[in-house]
Amino acid sequence: MKRLIKWTLSIILLIFIILTSLGFVEYKKALSEISLKDKIAQIQAKDDYVEIEDISDYVIKATISTEDQRFYSHCGVDFIAYGRIAYVLLTTGQLSGGGSTITQQLAKNLYFGYEPSIIRKFAEFFMVHDIESQYDKDTILEIYLNIINYGDNHIGIYQASEGYFGKEPKDLTFNEATLVVGIPQSPSNYQLSDHAENAYKRQQAVIQTLIDTQTFTEDEIQELMDSN
């Protein structure tokens, strides 16, 4: 039995080393095409780029609550979330929930896309380290909000705010912010042009996370909804 355990652990370690090596190669290949600094500079130079202070606080709070509740405390990878997923998998045999942080999603959007690949997942970890070491949390969140897909060909919070509501991101109300923040989870299924009903249902899930994380109380949310 001890020998079997030893061999099993050795195989797992070997697989991990191989995947890490292949991921590193993928990561270096991505950077060889364009450096992280230049990639970010290109995004920040766009006419519709919005700095974080010009984005509604409701958007910021709803995004963190929905996408990455420990965003300001983790190092770019949420090991607590991965631990929870592993526990559920081991105890129920089911894979539930996503563990990707905002920084990981940013790395995917910048370099790797969303096509499932375990090698790219390892490459993503290297890129996440670079992002977290070179940019502060507010800047990471700011860039993320400027590049994610909000459906209906709206890339970034500026296009989404203007396209859906005809106003700048800083002027989005609580109702508008919680509606638009729910869309990136599945843009084609939540975009307002043809899936508004789904989007409003998704909005309720976003609002519930704000309650669950104690970002707002139910009474505060009701007041905010009534004031829109």
Model confidence over 20-44: pLDDT tens digits?
A: 999 999 999 999 999 999 999 999 9
The dihedral sign for the CA sequence 88, 76, 152, 221: positive
CA distances from residue 118 to 66, 132, 224, 226 in whole angstroms, order as listed:
24, 21, 42, 46
Q: Top-level CATH class of 2-227?
A: mainly alpha
Per-residue pLDDT, averaged over 64-86, amounts to 78
Domain ranges of the chain: 2-227
Which among 145, 129, 125 is positioned nearest to 64, based on CA atoms?
Answer: 145
| Cα separation, 30 vs 185, whole angstroms | 25
The predicted structure's pLDDT at residue 88: 44
The predicted structure's pLDDT at residue 79: 66
Whole-structure pTM value? 0.88
